[in-house]
Amino acid sequence: MSSGFDGEFIRAHSAVSTMSVTDAAQDKRADLAGPGIGTYEEVDRVLPGDYEPLLSPRLTQHAIYAVKGYIEEHLCKELNLMMVQVPLIVETESGVNDMLDRDGSRTPIQFHISNDRNLHPVDAQVVQAATKWKRMALKQFDLQSGEGLITDMRAVRKDYFLDHDHSAYVDQWDWEKAITVEDRNLDYLKDTVRRIWKVISGAQKHVQRLFPQLKDPRYPNLPDEIHFLHTEDLLDQYPDLPRKQRETAILQKHPAVFLIGIGWPLKDGYPHEMRAADYDDWVTETRSEDGRPMHGLNGDILVWNPVTRRRHELMSGGIRVTAETLRQQLSMSNQLDFLKFPYHQAILNGQIPLSIGSGIGQGRTQMLLLRKAHIGEVTVAVWPKKLREISAQHNIHVLT
């Protein structure tokens, strides 16, 4: 890639040489959850200084819907999915809202509906993702093994630090597919990821046919193939780096990676990243291609973004928990009290299908394919004045 090693990666390696063991451990702990940027001084530093949008705001809107239509149509074909309606709000007591991470750092917006003069009220939450709802919906829509659903999901995540690729408003292609017990293996997971990657890379070719100005020699296209790597192997390659810097480093070698096994504690004592305990299966023992023991049937699609010159996450998901792995993961996370919720009871009692699923970020994908430096150029959200000012100084003008 023409952009070479970005400043984020170079700084990481120079810092390691002077970092104490205690400092390194603290850095890894701080890196377990959440966005990689935590101050607006850093945002100002990492935003590109030479940015020129390739599409006007008007053309960008046309391109957004070209990408959206292509991806929805082809995901349905590749994964045998049907489009369904999805909730924006759910009952608190249902337990189907996504808590995102298992450390409790990201909580949903909650509100009380004083229905019928508070005689029949409802306590509700705004969804943070439809991850658990989708698995319940497989039963509601009577979908059988090999059949699935996809949603045009909208959510609010109030606890994010708002930067160039994290918004309080979230839109995702949230999909879920019923599978058999025989499908719960790495080969099935990898085949599914390859199908998704075929759609994403195909969407890039499609939108560039419609808008040839998106072909720019400064910005290499996505590779045809995605590289698979276990988190255990990534740690072995970069044992002293925190996880986001490990991801940055590997993307210099492979610009598109599916990183497998996110949530399982690695040999340095930390998981690659904190991951919720009640949907993705990150404890099941698997084997690498050369026979070494690994863990996890889940992962993330990560790519190198040549516009921002940073790591860029597009998708998170995988094969979902069974009754056994749900108990194990909740026990490891000290969250066994979750088993009281209807969603968790449905898994324990075999009332909903085994499944695989993921959330594919719409804004993140549009940002990447349309060569944008800020997610606010492709989605409408709220941004602090400080961030809007910094963005404008970098020739980035977010939608309002």
The CATH number of the domain holding residue 76 is 3.30.930.10
Assess contact for 337 and 327: CB atoms under 8 A: no
What is the spatial distance between Cα 186 and Cα 358, in angstroms, rounded to a whole number? 15
The answer to whether residue 316 is catalytic is yes
Residues in the chain predicted with pLDDT less than 70, given as ranges, are: 1-36, 102
Two structure tokens written together for 17? 């040489």
> Residue 249 CB: number of other CB atoms within 10 A?
19
Overall pTM > 0.75: yes
| Predicted pLDDT at 25 | 56
Q: How far apart are CA 351 and CA 136, in angstroms?
A: 9
Q: Is the alpha carbon torsion for 286, 289, 293, 294 positive or negative? A: negative
Active site residue 236: no
Catalytic residue check, 377? no
Question: Distance between alpha carbon 330 and the CA centroid of its chain, in Å?
Answer: 21
Active-site residue identified among 316, 329, 333, 366:
316
In a domain, 185, yes or no: yes
Q: Is residue 391 flagged as an active site residue? A: no
Q: Quick one: pLDDT at residue 104?
A: 74
Residue 399 inside a domain? The answer is no
Q: Identify the pLDDT of residue 378.
A: 98
Is-catalytic flag, 73?
A: no
Query: Between vectors from CA 166 to CA 218 and to CA 23, what angle results, nearest 5°?
Result: 95
Calculate helix-pair angle for 243-253, 7-16, nearest 10 degrees: 120
Q: What pLDDT is recorded for position 215?
A: 98
Domain residues for 325? 7-393
313 is catalytic: yes
Total count of domains within the chain: 1
Look at residue 158 in the predicted model and tell me its pLDDT.
94
Cα–Cα distance for residue pair 280/258, rounded to 1 Å: 15
Write the burial class of residue 39 (CB in 10 Å: 0-12 exposed, 13-18 middle, 19+ buried): exposed
- The pLDDT of residue 87 is 96
One-letter amino acid of 24? A
Look at residue 398 and tell me if it is in a domain. Answer: no
Rounded to whole angstroms, the Cα distance separating 342 from 344 reads 6
